[in-house]
Structure 1
Amino acid sequence: MKSVLSVVALAGLSEAALRFGCSTLSIQRLDPVVEPGSIPSAHLHQIVGGNAFNASMQPEDGDPAQKATCTTCTFSEDFSNYWTAVMFYKHQNGSYQRVPIMANDALPPGINGGMTIYYTQQDFFSNGNQKITSFPKGFRMTAGKVTATSKYSKGLKFVCLQNKSTRFPELDEFPTQKCNGIMTVHHFPACWDGKNLDSPDHQSHMYNTVNDAFVNSGACPASHPVRVPQVTYETLWDTAQFNNLPWPTDGSQPFVLSYGDDLGFGTHADYMFGWKDDALQRAMDSSCMFNACENGNPLKSQQPAQMNACTVQPTVDENINGWLSALPGMSIDHGDGVSEESEEYRECIMP
């Protein structure tokens, strides 16, 4: 724990930190960062943020902050989009059911699922004492790698929730015991090359100095000298409602991410900047913390009812609810060496 002296020493520094909720905007197979223009994308995502979200969203298509008419996030000037893979329960009979999302109890009640989003400067406790530069218009990045078969980044974690306030221990893969929910955590890199809005792998324009949990990030290297906000997502999945259904007898657990990963090494997230005008820079230059940044101090904010009312119409027409014979977009394995696409996927791609 930090000493009283260290806290006093930091009191005069710029310590802005944002923590806010975003209700669910959409759950569908679109990914305008990794698979721009693909309808549908390879696997299912849950998306929050501005309602300009669509399959393309390239920088030349315009600023989301100008095209969106609403946002599912607390700060009404934030039209960014944030998305992750979806979690499913896999029954022993081979069928799947989507795991619903829970709102974080550190946020105002009434938020419809979604995620908790953080923009911090250095770490969760002191929050740093250096200039933080907002992302530029058109910026996007990813965290994690869907094809990873071992730990990919220190910033990607799972937490077995005893309650919604549980934050430790942080695990590198899915917990194998029954939990009162599973939280996925995605910490993004906080050092930018200062030049590129994106890169072919959506990560090389960034440099990751992030350590486990909300602890100090290292200094940015000369190749990526610009310190940008530390963006983090927390997503709480309500796995407890599946605890009385069949579980594997081999000591493993029954949850998978929407691309079929039952270990979690491929956990990943996408970010697309869409703050209006200089709102994020104003916040980072201030000394506000969490909900003290709301109500014009310095950011405009809205209530959960307004957040929940913001939606987009699905672009991909497929069933994602109830018991499914296969993960959306994945093929059905009959165990005879022959696979076929799920009925939902065939209906989506066939005229």
Structure 2
Amino acid sequence: MPRRSKILSGTLITGALLLTSLGLGGVALSAGVPAPGAGAAAAFASVHSGHTMAVSTTSSPEDPDGDGYIPANPPVTGVTPSTQDPPHRYFHEFQANCSVTHTAPDDPIVYPRQPGRSHDHTFMGNTTTNANSTTASLDAGGTTCKAPGDRSGYWMPTLFDGDRPVLPVGPQTIYYKTGVTDYTSVRPFPRGLRFVVGDPAQSADAFRHHPGFVEGWECGDSYFNTEFPATCPDRADVQVNIRFQAPSCWDGKYLDTPDHKSHMAYPVVRPGTNDNVCPADHPVALPMIEFKMAFPVNGDMSRVRLASGPGHSFHYDFFNAWDDATLRALVGHCVVGGLQCDARGYDQTHPEAGAALDQNYRLP
């Protein structure tokens, strides 16, 4: 398949200016907490589609020529966005419950094979995710997800309270939903698909109006915040939370692109209807991932920040390494089947439907 030309244009920003713009200038991180590396400035060295995002130009086993395009093999062709309106179901989802594995200044999507070049990330799911991760290495790794078949890598910028990293405790909720009205048209992710959701350089206004924005930062009775609330109720049952949705329409051609976004798109409203459909240039409906993260911090929030900067710099990454048969069973049973499933693929309000996985979260 012919590849598109590389995107290398943009405006370079010095590391000092970048750290200042992210609210990190003059911050002394404690020992053992990785500081943003020189690559943090490089992350904003190329402008693409109105967003500032790193362009990968380093070769890897999956991208030998280093142009940032990883073709799907095989590509998905002959698909048009579905305009069908199946029977209404309020839910069509399942959960991937995955715990934190580690933190590191790595990003195998934005900075493949460049350890230490990223701002610090909190990793969930695959226990081996690092700068050198590939589809094959993730497939050989372990996982903290309840379903052993989910060896995907999930990561986001580490949250700090002053110099102290604050890590989510226990299995976090990662929803797999439908983003389109025709939930029966949703198909599993292709193996090796990867993308970035959001942008660390986005403005507060862009974050608030991002198509993936759900409720912003929230705690107690405070909702829809683009920044961390000044205070949160100082109670053991209160944590700061965020929910953010990923694009769910795929071009069918590439597993990754230089900006790590343009092979994916959000659904659009079909003219004259209230139906959500995939756009014509991204016709393949995939599951819509929604991060629902809870961080155990409350009280005075004045020192809370992300490794990428202020609250509105929140973003996250996904690298698919599901076992194909397991993901296919969950998508078919729960999303296409119009159920509200847990990580086993079981809907307690519809016990007659059974579960996609057994008691050990494996295929029966």
Alignment of 1:64 with 2:130, yes or no, is no
Alignment of 1:205 with 2:263, yes or no, is yes
Query: Is the partner of 1:279 in helix, strand or coil?
Result: helix
- In the alignment, the residues of structure 2 paired with residue 49 and residue 169 of structure 1 have an alpha-carbon distance, to the nearest angstrom, of 28
| Deviation at residue 97 of structure 1 after TM alignment | 1.6
Alignment of 1:289 with 2:340, yes or no, is yes
- In the alignment, the residues of structure 2 paired with residue 46 and residue 39 of structure 1 have an alpha-carbon distance, to the nearest angstrom, of 15
| Deviation at residue 239 of structure 1 after TM alignment | 1.4
Alignment of 1:36 with 2:119, yes or no, is no
Q: TM-score if structure 2 supplies the norm length? A: 0.62
| Larger RCO: 1 or 2 (CA < 8 Å, sep 6+) | 1
The corresponding residue for 1:100 is: 167
- In the alignment, the residues of structure 1 paired with residue 288 and residue 192 of structure 2 have an alpha-carbon distance, to the nearest angstrom, of 18
State how many pairs are aligned. 253
Which segments of structure 1 move beyond 4 Å, counting only runs of 4 or more?
Answer: 300-303
* Aligned with residue 174 of structure 2, among 96, 107, 117: 117
| Deviation at residue 37 of structure 1 after TM alignment | 1.1
Alignment of 1:87 with 2:159, yes or no, is yes
- In the alignment, the residues of structure 1 paired with residue 112 and residue 346 of structure 2 have an alpha-carbon distance, to the nearest angstrom, of 33
Alignment of 1:130 with 2:184, yes or no, is yes
Q: What stretches of structure 2 of length at least 5 have no aligned partner?
A: 1-85, 348-353
* TM alignment of 1:184-223, pairs within 5 A: 184-209=242-267, 218-223=276-281
| Deviation at residue 269 of structure 1 after TM alignment | 0.1
Contact kept? 1:75, 1:294, Cα under 8 Å: no
- In the alignment, the residues of structure 1 paired with residue 150 and residue 345 of structure 2 have an alpha-carbon distance, to the nearest angstrom, of 13
Contact kept? 1:154, 1:210, Cα under 8 Å: no
The corresponding residue for 2:88 is: 10
- In the alignment, the residues of structure 2 paired with residue 276 and residue 39 of structure 1 have an alpha-carbon distance, to the nearest angstrom, of 27
Query: Is the partner of 2:331 in helix, strand or coil?
Result: helix
The corresponding residue for 2:285 is: 227
Measured against aligned partners, the alpha-carbon deviations of 1:56-86 in whole angstroms (never above 9, x if no partner) come to 2235xx2633x12x31011121111101111
- In the alignment, the residues of structure 2 paired with residue 217 and residue 38 of structure 1 have an alpha-carbon distance, to the nearest angstrom, of 42
| Deviation at residue 20 of structure 1 after TM alignment | 3.5
The corresponding residue for 2:131 is: 55
Give the letter aligned to residue 189 of structure 2: F
The corresponding residue for 2:307 is: 258
Contact kept? 1:77, 1:275, Cα under 8 Å: yes
| Deviation at residue 289 of structure 1 after TM alignment | 2.6
Alignment of 1:275 with 2:322, yes or no, is yes
Q: What stretches of structure 1 of length at least 5 have no aligned partner?
A: 1-7, 91-95, 103-111, 248-252, 304-351
Between the two proteins, what is the percent identity of the paired residues?
26
| Deviation at residue 254 of structure 1 after TM alignment | 2.5
Q: 1:52 to 1:86 in 2, by over 3 A?
A: closer
